[in-house]
A and B are shown apart, each in its own frame.
Chain A
């Protein structure tokens, strides 16, 4: 069975309950798997296909001079020099001390690989069409360009993020113009 690798990142809590009726083919083809994580009080979701790996918060992050604070700095991940972004700072949320659950999610956006710091990782879930919600304009304080949609996961709201926006041209321009 070739979807085996998907299990590695976590267990499908939804699937466990509905295992018998579950259509593996459908899962595999519509790629509707999401990694959920927590930032502050809210739960966010990232498309699993963008996630490369999870690492713990490293000992040293080298600060980049003259950069806005949401760019925490760069790390060495097995020889790759990767930028690390603090999503709390980027989304202008209250700052938070790093703790034992603080995790860096390494995501791949097109050919670029970056890391984002989150409070903790929750789960890997499968979202069906019926889980998706119409996104009301002011459902979250988050800059709407990062929000791809909302989902209802057993009564809890998940904000589905579009991290591609983190590396959008105007966003990057902002970085390279700073002096």
Chain B
């Protein structure tokens, strides 16, 4: 069907602009790639030519080179003034020397630290987890980007498999169970054995988890697009056999981690492992309660849904990421966590209050009023773990602020921590009855979930990625693309959330005022456009992130060409 005429002119232009950005970016990347390929080809040719010449070198030429080498290598003995005591750097303390004559457009950041070597097999498993998660991030946010465009151009396609209602859960579930979850479990495989000071119990079991989690996301996404879903509860759209695969994967890794911890060489259990094990146990509990296939008639479904969706984000994503944070932040700052006790306080209060807050998604609905009140009280109680956690992290940072400018990972940590505070407290604010009146049912919820799942979880995960992948592979990402990833993601997130929050607040007020509903739809149009623009920036940042990951993981062929006399002689020797 040809509906081109129904787009207003500006709508088409905006859409084209949005689509053009990724296309142009892709073209640029393609050109860069082609150029690199050509250069490598020419270098290889040049190298071949050089070696041809080397074979036919006459003895006179060799003698000349010997002579020149001697001349060039002449130097004073360097002890004319100091005597025979040689200065030396036997412990390798002088590093990272800056040469003044370099013109620096990008301030250089510190290299990642070399760490005690990890079992290469484990390291491969971790990289597989992380690599898969990067793939799901790219695909999942591409779907999200497309959904954002659909708010501005609803007639962009008319395929049932790509219609808004079917794609929306594909996006949310893919970034939840694909991107964030796979990345988290992969990082756990690094942290759990490390803080227990023993090797991981079984690497093979890790692969089972990897396969099962990936299978769940693949099958789940296809089912959702085909119209097979669980009946509409958010993040519970996969039917139970599909989510069962995911749960099975988590069970296998949970047992694997528990066995590792049981064998630990340390007496105490480091707090990271508290959070990690708890998160995995809780996720299984939540999934079991919510998916058990023989109950939840009538409003039972809604009560369980409120519990499930909020425990999913708070007890799985948040709790596990906090656990990782308690390991990685002190590591990266090279100092211990500010207060172990605050970490423990946050742990228990999070369990106590967070478990209660689920039904705050259904305030003023037909579910029992007392349950709604409990949820509101629990939401207010969440201030305690959030403030405890934030204080702990910021106090750990304190005294190391100067490191921020010389590190490419610490900005991600800091932004993650800031959003942890802002996003969590925003959630508390949303739960109160009056604010709920305005914000509930509007896109404010969407802004909030991006502020938290993206601002907190994704930023923290990126921080952890840039911390450990160089340690596993020994390769650093280009600082310029890490910086670009950071800024695009951050600015994109702000462009996404702030207009959406402003617009939805005003929309809520219009509803309160009894304005016609359709007027509040057209009112949101500019805010939805801003959301699409912010979303595009975020999406671009993921392409850069994927590129950085590729650079960190990929091994490259090199074409060294000898230039100094000693190198040339060495090459000649090797040839003979």
Decide if A and B are genuine partners: no
Chain A residues within 8 Å of B, Cβ to Cβ: none
Chain B residues within 8 Å of A, Cβ to Cβ: none
